[in-house]
Amino acid sequence: MNKKAEILVVDDDPDIQDSLRIILESNEYEVRTAANGREAMEELEIRLPDLMILDIMMATDTEGFDLAFKLREKPEFKNLPIVILTAFLNKVREEGPGKFEYILGEQWPAHWLLEKPVDSKKLLAKIEGILGES
Amino acid sequence: MDATSMETRERCLAEDLSRRKRVILRELKERSFWFVRLRWWVPPSIVAGVLVARLMGFEFAVVQLLLVAAFVLAYNIVFYMLSRAFKEEPLREERRFYRFAYEQVALDYAAMFLLIHFTGGAASPLIFFFIFHIIFASILLPPRSAYGFSALVVAGMGTVALAEYLGWIPHHPLLFQGRSTDLAQQPLHMVVALGFFAASVFISAFSTTAIMRMLRRRIRDLGALSESVSILNERLHALFSMIEAIGSAQYLEQVLPVVTGELGNVMEVKGISVKLLSGDGRFLRYAAAYGLPEEFTGEKEVEVDKSPLNRRIIEGEPYVTGQVTKKELFQFGEALAAAQIRSVLFVPLTVEDRVIGILGAYCVRPDRFSTEDVDFFRMAAGLVAIALESARAYEAIEQLIEERSWYMMRVTHNLRAPLAAMLSMIELVRGGYLGELNDEQREYLRRLDRRSRTMLSMVNELMTLVESRSEKGKIVRGPVDPVMIGNRIRRTFEDEAKEKRVDFKVVVPEDLPPIHGDAGMIEQMLENLVSNAIKYTPAEGYVCVNFGRATQTVCIEVSDTGIGIPQADRSKIFDDFFRAENARIVEGHGTGLGLAIVREIVDKHGGRILVESEESLGTIVVVHLPITRQEAVDSSQIITQGRANQSGNEKEKPKAGHLARMSNPFRRVGRKGMFRSPDEGAAAGFVWGLPQGAFG
């Protein structure tokens, strides 16, 4: 378990950003944040994180999806683990499953799909699980 | 010529054969058969008569008489077989029936003459039996023929008398004790007797034909009466069916085909059309057309200004013609000419003095529509107008409900993000990430968390409920495996039940048929029920879910030893937001929506739900859901795009009055079903209907 792993948190809600940051940093992860798709791409280009936590619905309904798709198109990002958070599980399910299969590989039904509000213990356990495997 | 016009032709033919004739013929048929039956008595009577006469000492030509009896028997057998064949004949062949009647009468006369000849000829006492024959002939045959036969009888008798007198034919006298009762020795007496005979014959003929004429007239009138009664009855029935169709269906696509079809059938016309006036009153558009070719209707729009005929009708005057001209046809469309329409009838459709369209009838026969037809059609137009208005009203209401639902969904939708953020932050502080907490802080944060989670539950459940009651809550039906549902429920709740020290069991027998419904919804429904059961059952109690089979359904029983439902609240538990007092004590922060959602789902599936409960003892909730039938599997409905009629067994008939829960089987895209895996449920850490924080 690489405790110095770097996690990119992408969410347009500053409160969520802050909460996650505090939780992750006290578990010795390095945290960067981005508030929208564009910033996320910038961060990704600067340096690839070990894992990305992505809010699937940000300013617009499809922003998170679009970003995830874009990432999967590019070879350098294809294998980046993504944990998807959403406050709107129904809506997300309506859009999926096709989209999710594509985004998450064979992981649908997603072990990596979490609904807000997220139990921090479960989130940490998930992250450890994912990073432990890679 | 297509099938429908052939039918119309036949119907017209049948009508042309006037009703009266039909009735007369029917009567004739019956009488001829009756005479055949009557005639069976004759041979035995002859034989009996012969025996008696012999016993009494009369002497006469016995053998010949018996031969005549045999002859009568023989030809009656032939007639009997013929009548059997005739029974099936349609009433068209009147000539054959008349011939049958004549044949009977003729043969009867022949037999009669033979009998008379062999019992003394002109002096035979049997000559008076001719009276019967005359009577029968007058009943069976037209008056002229009856008189004709009477003349024949008199002439015949006269000839026989003369022939015997002159010795041209042998005389077979009737001898009694050696003496002949023969009047042949006294010609004058003979002539007088024959004269009276002739008189009685003609008088019988006259009386009977007069009576028959009266009878026939009565029968004809009755026939006409009964025909018009039955026509009226058919029309009433059609009106009633139309009313029924209007009452039980909401949408124009359902109502109009039924209504126009009924109308078309009862009026026996080729086609019925409904044209609707546009809002500004300038265009007429076809809304329905029964029996008319496709090209005729479709997207055709008629400009009212360009069509004086249509304009007149809209101004309130019905338009009838029995000989529609080319010019008129043109106003209604060229395709009409191709369909060989000759008579048309149009009446305006009015609602409260406002004309909303035109109802039309088209027939291939000329001069088809009488005043009664126009009157009836106007009544029908009244009904069609009502149907149209009520369909519009329904649409308007639905529109309103949709808007309301949309609004509510947007609101609840927007509440979720801030709530999620709030809960995350609360968790942050509670988790000690921002520093140690003292007991008081911990306690208040716990309460804060509870209240916020309740709020989130409320928002989620409201969303579910509103969505379920609106367009998006479309049920996707398919076979659902009870075993799978049972296993998922077990997995979802076993940990929680164990933590609370409640004994939790799910029992699913192996051989249950699949349920016909939506897996996601059924699971949701069970989750709500089980969650309630566990929530309201104190430690050391039990909760049991039993799947079973009833005659037409799968029944799922959720029973618990919980706090029960007070008698007074029994009828309200499924109401939105309702919470019973004793429930409030156990769990202060419930949403009161869980059971409303359950009811919604049960209703959607066409199932039943029954509740038995005793306060402080426990509760049993039994849900019956329909099973998948083979036919239902094939036409198992999926989402329809656009408005299409739903065929098959599952015609949901929403009743008037249940506007709040109008589930719409005829509109657009619905939810693609909830996919939930147990892992997902666990990972999300969220169970519908259960306020979090209650147990941890």
Q: How far is A87 from chain B (nearest CA, A)?
A: 6
One domain for residues B124 and B205: yes
Q: Is residue B258 part of a domain?
A: yes
Residue in the structure block whose two tokens are 């249940």: B658
Residues in chain A whose Cβ is within 8 Å of chain B: 13, 15-16, 18-20, 22-23, 26, 87-90, 93-94, 97, 109-111, 113-120, 122, 126
User: Domain with B315 in it: what CATH number?
Assistant: 3.30.450.40
Q: Is the pLDDT of residue A32 over 60?
A: yes
Tokens, residue B378? 């106007």
Residue of B nearest to A15 (CA): B421
Of B421, B672, B684, the CB nearest to A15: B421
Q: So what's the pLDDT on residue B633?
A: 44
Burial of residue B231 (CB within 10 Å: 0-12, 13-18, 19+) is middle
One domain for residues B267 and B205: no
One domain for residues B68 and B81: yes
Tokens, residue B367? 């001069």
One domain for residues B281 and B174: no
Of B424, B676, B679, the CB nearest to A116: B424
Q: What is the mean pLDDT of residues A21-47?
A: 90
Distance CA B349, CA B629 (A): 43
Distance CA B40, CA B482 (A): 73
One domain for residues B299 and B277: yes
SS (H, E, C) chain A: CCCCCEEEEECCCHHHHHHHHHHHHHCCCEEEEECCHHHHHHHHHHCCCCEEEEECCCCCCCHHHHHHHHHHHCHHHCCCCEEEEECCHHHHHHHCCHHHHHHHHHHCCCCCEEECCCCHHHHHHHHHHHHHHC
One domain for residues B540 and B576: yes
Domain boundary among B442, B469, B496: B469
Check CB contact under 8 Å for B686 and A126.
no
Chain A contact for B683, CB < 8 A?
Answer: yes
Of B419, B431, B675, the CB nearest to A93: B675
Range of the domain at B29: 3-226
Check CB contact under 8 Å for B434 and A119.
no
- Residue window 443-502, chain B: list those with CB within 8 Å of chain A: 456, 463, 467
One domain for residues B64 and B97: yes
| Domain covering A6-133 assigned CATH 3.40.50.300 in the classification | no
Q: Is residue B381 part of a domain?
A: yes
Chain A contact for B686, CB < 8 A?
Answer: yes
Q: So what's the pLDDT on residue B647?
A: 37
Q: Is residue B244 part of a domain?
A: no
Check CB contact under 8 Å for B683 and A23.
no
One domain for residues B478 and B440: no
Check CB contact under 8 Å for A126 and B683.
yes
Q: What is the DSSP letter of B660?
A: G
- Mean pLDDT, 10 residues at a time, over chain B (696 residues)? 52 55 73 82 88 80 88 90 76 72 85 85 78 80 82 86 80 68 65 78 82 84 87 84 76 78 83 84 80 68 77 81 72 64 86 86 84 87 85 84 83 85 90 90 92 88 81 77 90 88 92 88 91 91 92 91 91 89 83 90 91 92 86 39 33 34 29 30 29 32
Residue of A nearest to B674 (CA): A93
Q: How far is A26 from chain B (nearest CA, A)?
A: 7
Please report residues of B whose CB lies closer than 8 A to that of A118.
424, 685
Q: What is the DSSP letter of B357?
A: E
Distance CA B278, CA B429 (A): 64
| Structural domains in chain B (count) | 3
Check CB contact under 8 Å for B424 and A20.
yes
Of A117, A122, A126, the CB nearest to B420: A117
Peptide bond before residue A97 is cis, with ω within 30 degrees of 0: yes
Q: What is the mean pLDDT of residues A52-75?
A: 77
Check CB contact under 8 Å for A122 and B680.
no
One domain for residues B214 and B98: yes
> Taking the model in full, what pTM does it have?
0.49
Helix axes B19-39, B187-248, angle to 10 degrees: 130
One domain for residues B384 and B498: no
